Structure 1
Amino acid sequence: MTTEPIEDIEDWSKKLAPWRQDCLRRVAISNELTDADISELLAMIKHAAGFTLGDATPPAPEPFSKAHYGGGKHDPIVLKGIANVQNVNRLISNASLNFSPHGLTAIYGRNGSGKSGFVRILRTACRTRVENADKLKVLADVYGAADGPQTADIIIDTGNGDISIAWEAGTQASPQLMQVAVFDTLSAQLYVDGGSQIRYLPFGLALPHRLNTVSLTLKDLLEKELAVAVGDKVALTAVSFVPVRSTKAQQFEKAITKDTTEALIDEAASFETADQIRLDEINSILSAGDAAVADLAALASWSEGTATECEVAAHLFSDAALAELDRLQASALACRQAARVAAGELFTNEPLQGVGSESWRALWTAARDYSLKEAYVGRAFPVLSIDDGSAECVLCQQPLLEDGVARMQRFQKYMDDRLDMAARVAENAVLNAINEIPQFALLLSEDFGNRLEQIRKRDSKLAADLAAFQATASKRRANAIAILQGLGAKIEPFLPSPHIAMTNLAAKLRGEMIELSKAEDVQERAALVNDKAELEDRKILAANRPNLIRRRDLLVTGSAYERALADVKTRGITIRANELVDTHLTRVVVERFETECKNFDISHLNIALARKSGKTQAEFSVDPQTKLTRVTSEILSEGEQRALALAGFLTEVASTDGAGPIVVDDPVSSLDRERGAKVAERLANEARQRQVVVFTHDIIFFNEVCRSAEGLGIEPVTIALFSDRDAAGKVDAAGMLWKGLNVTKRLGRIKQDFAPLPKLCAESPAKYEYEIKNLYGRLRDTYERAVEEVIFRDIVRRGSDVVQTQLLRYITLSDTLAIRFHEGMTRANTYSHDNPAAETVPVPTPDEFKADVASLEKLINDLKAEGEAAEAARPQMKPKK
């Protein structure tokens, strides 16, 4: 970048909401935000949006500043290797690979050797762009029985020693491994057809995009919370009114908002007992006819009469009234007893017993009535004589003799006595009291139960009071009669009389009769219908009051979430992030892509990068500058596609924050040898500034990339993979295949293999002869490779159609060096070829072999020196600067 963008970001951040400023600070100092970070940011947003957070107070936002810049960069990592591989393709159990911690690691293996298995692990664990995620699947051995999940350990070093990161197919990759970029066949296709998206920006420019990433995370959390907290719950609080009409209750229900207070809801949804009574009245009025008026009149009359009877019963059967009846009966009894005592004294000598008794007095009374009414009409009783003669007795109808007259006179005297009179008065008073007890035609009628039910429909309490009073009144009436009859009675408590309530009910019924008459009037009826509708809907609203409160609360919550969601919108951030990318990075990326295209000799394709940014990253897509009718892969050759893909990949790598390792799998597939050499040179050059791991099955490319690295002073680490019938992914302990070794490495291998031979020569001349013959064959191969690599400077290589004509200026071969080469080659041929059975060719001693190896090493050094001297002698051929 030509200028440091952090000042622009700091100035811009001051205009953001406080939580966004705090979020910028967090993503600046942290590689990945924790769940606690997200929770605190969410709390800040909710607090600003007006949520009620209870006792949970969010931390105060801390603004972003330049002081926070830099702390959030990735700690650079080194990819140390893969270990403990299990169930991946045909890779051997616990397969492993170790990579050079710096420079270049070149891994060679023929098809089926297991390279792809290791690459598949890395492309799922590290940063690989594949359009179809299903293509990243890692399978077990399709020819064997799977035994558990596909797992491995990926070893990295962050500067504090090795760290093992567990990998399992299908699980989320470790953020640390996102610094490792992987290029393989699948991603190559995406780079060409899908476009080369440079998704990773230098840290400063990445901050706004990372802020958007967090914003989208918070947005997702808020939307999920909103779906749970509100969702379609508002619709579920709707009150069902049937029919739908324009009542105050229905209008209020529709108009509820987040600002509707609970007091307003209480007022609109108020429905008391009086309202229900009124609703019942209106229903009765509207449904009533002449019969209803008659029923009301009858019930009103019955209520009035019952109220009167209740009042009478309460008076007649009160405790005081019953006590008075008891006194009255006791008085009559006492008077009669006194008269009876007096009679006993008067009639002691009478011939018959019982004179003066109750039955006797009844007899006397009957005789008197007979005398007055029939026997001696008009004459005072008793009649003792008639015309100076004796009168007949009205009882025996025999003439009264002197004793009879005297007896009749005594009886009359008794009956006229004061005590007997008093007794008769008292007894008559009791009889009158019994006769005066009312029958209570209403309270004790047979239809009392039916009337009681009518009352209950209107006033259940009054009905209960009336029923209870009627029961006790009935018992008290029986008590009163029993008391007067001298039978005695157990007096139960007397309940209060409901006569006042019954009187009020009667008045109300009379009022209803008046209202019923109003229903016949059109206007009055319309008013009643309207009142009924208002009452019915208000009753429904009252029953749904909890739903109304719930809806208001949901609307309050929803409004708070709307404010919070508005606060996490990303559009403004995206615009500013793209402006920063345009200002500080676009030219750099475009120019880098053009340079990479020149490196691979594909500038003639006339394809460039165009920025295509999103919310969370800036992308640079490979777009043809000419109008194409088909996708790029259908127009370009396979070699051009691969070169274009590599240009996009390396551009992305160069634009990525940090210098993370790159892993490249078979980068020269379909490339011609000339362009393959350019790829080898480019990857070797990349190894000067980052760790590079190359997998290939092409031995020529392998040699080219190793040669290019060595030419830049980088000693590549080489690994050879192979497979057998049992498994793949085995590492050849002997190192790289012989044909993959250059002259220097071949000499190193020869010396390594020769080390045990001096001892073997002393122990087993036969085995020594066998081994030394093989080493001379290797020495002969090295002489042949020296022709290509040292004498002719790799101008022409076996298996390659590339001719490096610009290196011809280094070519020279003096006679002396040619003779030395011939002599050395002859010795190598002599001792490596099969010789006659006769011992005409002696077996070289260990010292002789060491001398022959030293002779080749010196020859190589002299050949190189002679070439440099030849170049120095041709100043006119030096390339122009």
Structure 2
Amino acid sequence: MMAGAPIDDVMEWSQTLSSWKQDALRRLAISNELIDADIDALLAMVKSAAGFKLAAGPQPAIPFTKAHFGNGEHQPIVLTRIANVENVNRLVPKASLAFCPKALTIVYGRNGSGKSGFVRILRTACRTRVENPVKLKVLADVYGGTPGPQTAEIVVNAGDGEVVIPWSPGKAASPQLMQVAVFDTASAQLYVDGGNQIRFLPFGLALPHRLNAICITLKEKLEAERAVAVGNKVGLTSIVFAAQRNCKAQLFDKQLNKLTTDAQIESATSFSNADEQRIEELTAALSAGAAAAADVNALSKWTDALLLESEAVGSAFTDDALEKLRKLRSTAAAARQAATVAAGALFTDEPLLGVGGDAWRSLWAAARDYSVTEAYKEKTFPVLMADGGAAACVLCQQSLLPEGAARMQRFQKYMDDILDAAARKAEQAVEDALRGVHELICLRASDFADRIEQVRKRDEALADALANLRTSAVIRREEALAKQGGEENGMVPPLVVPIDDLKVFALRLKAEKDGLAQAGNSEERAKLVAEKAELEDRKLLAANKLLLTTRRNLLVVDDGYTKALANVQTRGITQRANELVDAHLTTAVVTRFDAERARFDIMHLNVGLARKSGQTKAEFEVDPRTKLTKVTSEILSEGEQRALALAGFLTEVALTDGSGPIVIDDPVSSLDRDRSAKVAERIAEEASRRQVVVFTHDIVFFNELSRAADEVGIEPVTVALFSDKSAAGKVDTAGMPWKGQNVAKRISRLKNDAAPLPKLHAASPAEYEYQVKNLYGRLRDTYERVVEEVIFRDIVRRGTDVIQTQLLRYVRFPDALAIRFHEGMTRANTHSHDNPAADTVAVPLPNEFTEHISELEALIVDLKAESEAAEADRPQMKPKK
């Protein structure tokens, strides 16, 4: 936390805020996050200040004092381990990775060993600059078939014992894990191009931004409430007048607002029966005119015609009339069927079928007509003899042979038969009855619908009755004309003819037509028009009285929300927050950023850092200081980008609340060895102040980081990961690879591995010889590392191009120590090499190997003492004048 000055400035500024904002600051000072009850209480205060009538008023605000700040500190956490990992990348089931609770943890592993899987878990659970959900996505083993969700446990310790925080993709972040900052390749470019974002401001400076967040939350809630309570409802209460005119009713409607009283609405919407009668009188008087008279006259004539037609319908299409037609059809059908049966018996020997049927009788009638009118005029049909010989057939035009003449006589006999005559008589009766069916000229006219609408304007019930009459009459007419009628009356709708109502309506039309003799003086007519318009608009206003009251109430509520929303505006808070950040933080951020750049030797890069703040956060953006591009990564090399990103990351974590752990993945990607060493020194320095976890695949950087940790007095915990064909993320129980261990760790490893030798020597000399031979090889490696690390004080390091010539003053190698080194190295070579079978070199006993380790330890002590003595014996270097 920064000094008290920011808090003093926030206190001074807060005194000018409204009571609810002071209460919000107080609640924020007490708790980092507000619960729903806090939000609801603040919302009630805002609405109360805006004039809302609440069921229970909000609690009075407690004055905001400096005591609410406390010490602004929180209990830092320690990242203990990741455990029980399931279905994450190729990590082995139940994968686990423990971290040093203090100082530095170095996780080493070659490519594909599983480091990224653990980092991806931490990146999604902890604090990172990466916000793109696609880049934060954690995959399962894409080549495996293991079912189940992706899960893990992140174990932390906040001072009261370990706490297990469950993790799964998409799970809401834990507030405790927000203290852990993660840096990796995905976030590196964001620090370069996106700006060095200070997400967690020092305690006092964070309050205005957090107050903005509360304002935004309250604004969203108010807008959501407003959308439900008001929304577009005001528009729905608008009244649509037939015409826009300057009358009192319309003027009242336009001027209605939140201050309009119930009494004013009551007065503006008064409308009585007398007013209604007056409208009818005015309408009748003003409707007078040639066109109106013509319309009424036409409607009157149509009504008279319809009245006559309705009377005819009332007699012609009754159920009895339809039943009579059905009986006539039935009689004709029965007579025809009897005649057809008789014809069937008479013409059984005819060569063609159907004689006596409908088609045949039509043919016979046509032949008869042709005979008497054209072929054999004025002779009785059928003509069998003509001019003393056989007559010609009127159908085939050939002479009638005896057989044909006999057939014609049979046909004529049939046609003269009583049954056929009866059938024809019955059928003629049906035809005669159908000719009398009414045409329904009015009811079936194309303008019937228009006429009905004219009637409806005057008498809606009569209009409905006439519409029903038309439907029934048309269907009954179709029934009457149908060749096959229904068996029951229920097949047609009932017939109701409103004769009496129609007569009354006709009389009303006549009276209306006679009354169209009004419309005289033009001035008087204008007055009548204005009076009628005022009454009509007031009638509409009265019918919509509820809409007027509803609109007034909505405007009252909307005004309250307008006032409340004005009280949660963030512009003033944002301005003051930025002023506080500039006064107390901007200089510190820029200074720290430049200091970090200097540590990584990138001060020559022409980039700057400028504040770019939002409503709820302060942000510092890297400026490439060129008009050609706004993207810094387009200018710098990859190595410069990585160094700049690390500088930004370390600036951010240095200036945020607390001293939470940091996780750094592959920090020296694309860096040269010189700058890699600087990064190692900087990380080791940071590890002396907070918990640091570093993931790397670079063994040289691993050694540099280990040495840098030793120089600041830190004993780093090292973890080695490896993978095989089955899975990744396996922890090597032997610890770091041999080549990554310094002299002290190698000797410790040799002692540990030598402990089982006595038992092994007693149980299996052959196996003992195999194991001790390998240990002597490791002892030889250690002697070689002594040359680099102890004798020459890491002046030249393998894998780096750094030569620390200033350390040459410590180098002195007396003969006695050289002989001891030679003897020990020779012995290690002898017992590690493959000696001839006939060689008499004896295999050293377990206690001899232990002695040889002790001799190396003693030699190292003496070499270090000699080195310090060499420095002490040298004359002090004096600078040249």
> Which interval holds the TM-score relative to the shorter structure?
0.7 to 0.9
Separation in 1 of the partners of 2:878 and 2:853?
A: 34
Give the match's secondary structure for 2:531: helix
1:90-169 alignment runs, 5 A limit: 90-130=90-130, 132-145=132-145, 147-169=147-169
TM-aligned CA deviation for residue 541 of structure 1: 2.1
Who is 2:503 aligned against?
A: none
1:449-528 alignment runs, 5 A limit: 519-528=519-528
Q: Are 1:659 and 2:654 counterparts?
A: no
Separation in 2 of the partners of 1:100 and 1:619?
A: 32
1:229-248 alignment runs, 5 A limit: 229-248=229-248
Who is 2:678 aligned against?
A: 678
The residue identity in structure 1 corresponding to 2:812 is T
User: Contact 1:3–1:584 (CA<8 Å) still a contact in 2?
Assistant: no
Separation in 2 of the partners of 1:230 and 1:56?
A: 22
Separation in 2 of the partners of 1:688 and 1:571?
A: 42
Deviation string, structure 1 residues 801-824 (Cα, Å, up to 9, x no partner)? 122223222222121111111111
Q: 1:73 to 1:149 in 2, by over 3 A?
A: farther
Who is 2:65 aligned against?
A: 65
User: Contact 2:208–2:573 (CA<8 Å) still a contact in 1?
Assistant: yes
TM-aligned CA deviation for residue 538 of structure 1: 2.1
Q: Where in structure 2 are there 5+ consecutive unaligned residues? A: 297-454, 462-511
Give the match's secondary structure for 1:88: coil
**Which stretch of the first structure deviates more once superposed, 677-686 or 548-557?**
548-557
1:21-60 alignment runs, 5 A limit: 21-53=22-54, 55-60=55-60
Separation in 2 of the partners of 1:147 and 1:27?
A: 44
Who is 2:470 aligned against?
A: none
Give the match's secondary structure for 1:750: helix
Q: 1:146 to 1:129 in 2, by over 3 A?
A: farther
The residue identity in structure 2 corresponding to 1:760 is L
The residue identity in structure 2 corresponding to 1:559 is D
1:430-829 alignment runs, 5 A limit: 519-625=519-625, 629=629, 631-829=631-829
Q: 1:548 to 1:190 in 2, by over 3 A?
A: same
Separation in 2 of the partners of 1:626 and 1:516?
A: 89
TM-aligned CA deviation for residue 626 of structure 1: 5.4
User: Contact 2:622–2:632 (CA<8 Å) still a contact in 1?
Assistant: no
User: Contact 1:82–1:98 (CA<8 Å) still a contact in 2?
Assistant: yes
User: Contact 1:248–1:534 (CA<8 Å) still a contact in 2?
Assistant: yes
Who is 1:490 aligned against?
A: none
User: Contact 1:82–1:154 (CA<8 Å) still a contact in 2?
Assistant: yes
Give the match's secondary structure for 2:134: helix
**Which stretch of the first structure deviates more once superposed, 530-539 or 728-737?**
530-539
Who is 1:252 aligned against?
A: 252
TM-aligned CA deviation for residue 120 of structure 1: 0.9
The residue identity in structure 2 corresponding to 1:558 is D
TM-aligned CA deviation for residue 559 of structure 1: 1.1
1:282-297 alignment runs, 5 A limit: 282-288=282-288
The residue identity in structure 1 corresponding to 2:549 is I
Give the match's secondary structure for 1:156: strand
Based on CA coordinates, which of the two structures has the bigger radius of gyration? 1
Deviation string, structure 1 residues 125-154 (Cα, Å, up to 9, x no partner)? 111012634211111112123623322211
TM-aligned CA deviation for residue 248 of structure 1: 2.3
Backbone CA RMSD of aligned residues? 2.7
The residue identity in structure 1 corresponding to 2:808 is L
Separation in 1 of the partners of 2:787 and 2:794?
A: 9
User: Contact 1:197–1:619 (CA<8 Å) still a contact in 2?
Assistant: yes
Give the match's secondary structure for 1:604: coil
TM-aligned CA deviation for residue 45 of structure 1: 0.5
Deviation string, structure 1 residues 293-341 (Cα, Å, up to 9, x no partner)? xx9xxxxxxxxxxxxxxxxxxxxxxxxxxxxxxxxxxxxxxxxxxxxxx
The residue identity in structure 2 corresponding to 1:808 is L
Identity %: 68
The residue identity in structure 2 corresponding to 1:19 is W
Deviation string, structure 1 residues 194-252 (Cα, Å, up to 9, x no partner)? 22222322111111111112111111221222222222222222222223333322222
Separation in 1 of the partners of 2:816 and 2:641?
A: 49
Who is 2:88 aligned against?
A: 88
Q: Are 1:276 and 2:276 counterparts?
A: yes
Deviation string, structure 1 residues 457-493 (Cα, Å, up to 9, x no partner)? 99x9xxxxxxxxxxxxxxxxxxxxxxxxxxxxxxxxx
TM-aligned CA deviation for residue 608 of structure 1: 2.8
Separation in 1 of the partners of 2:234 and 2:27?
A: 37
Who is 1:345 aligned against?
A: none
User: Contact 2:779–2:828 (CA<8 Å) still a contact in 1?
Assistant: yes
User: Contact 1:127–1:180 (CA<8 Å) still a contact in 2?
Assistant: yes
Who is 1:5 aligned against?
A: 6
The residue identity in structure 2 corresponding to 1:549 is T
Q: Are 1:212 and 2:212 counterparts?
A: yes
1:399-438 alignment runs, 5 A limit: none
Who is 1:387 aligned against?
A: none
Give the match's secondary structure for 2:53: coil
- TM-score using structure 2 length: 0.73
Separation in 2 of the partners of 1:517 and 1:243?
A: 27
Deviation string, structure 1 residues 143-182 (Cα, Å, up to 9, x no partner)? 1236233222111111111111122212321122111111
Q: Are 1:16 and 2:31 counterparts?
A: no
The residue identity in structure 2 corresponding to 1:656 is T
User: Contact 2:80–2:155 (CA<8 Å) still a contact in 1?
Assistant: yes
Give the match's secondary structure for 1:136: coil
User: Contact 2:289–2:519 (CA<8 Å) still a contact in 1?
Assistant: no
Q: 1:83 to 1:518 in 2, by over 3 A?
A: same
Who is 2:183 aligned against?
A: 183
Separation in 1 of the partners of 2:176 and 2:256?
A: 53
Separation in 1 of the partners of 2:540 and 2:525?
A: 23
User: Contact 1:131–1:190 (CA<8 Å) still a contact in 2?
Assistant: no
Q: 1:76 to 1:251 in 2, by over 3 A?
A: same
TM-aligned CA deviation for residue 73 of structure 1: 4.0
Who is 2:379 aligned against?
A: none
Who is 2:369 aligned against?
A: none
- TM-score using structure 1 length: 0.73
Give the match's secondary structure for 1:690: coil
Separation in 2 of the partners of 1:692 and 1:878?
A: 40
**Which stretch of the first structure deviates more once superposed, 688-697 or 775-784?**
775-784
User: Contact 1:29–1:69 (CA<8 Å) still a contact in 2?
Assistant: yes
User: Contact 1:131–1:194 (CA<8 Å) still a contact in 2?
Assistant: no
The residue identity in structure 1 corresponding to 2:550 is R
Q: Where in structure 1 are there 5+ consecutive unaligned residues? A: 296-453, 461-511
TM-aligned CA deviation for residue 723 of structure 1: 0.9
Deviation string, structure 1 residues 396-447 (Cα, Å, up to 9, x no partner)? xxxxxxxxxxxxxxxxxxxxxxxxxxxxxxxxxxxxxxxxxxxxxxxxxxxx
Separation in 1 of the partners of 2:66 and 2:596?
A: 34
Separation in 2 of the partners of 1:875 and 1:273?
A: 126
Separation in 2 of the partners of 1:748 and 1:542?
A: 101
Separation in 2 of the partners of 1:773 and 1:662?
A: 43
Separation in 2 of the partners of 1:862 and 1:704?
A: 25
Who is 1:332 aligned against?
A: none
Separation in 1 of the partners of 2:644 and 2:716?
A: 26
The residue identity in structure 2 corresponding to 1:806 is Q
Who is 1:837 aligned against?
A: 837
The residue identity in structure 2 corresponding to 1:142 is V
**Which stretch of the first structure deviates more once superposed, 830-839 or 650-659?**
830-839
Separation in 1 of the partners of 2:45 and 2:72?
A: 22
User: Contact 2:288–2:517 (CA<8 Å) still a contact in 1?
Assistant: no
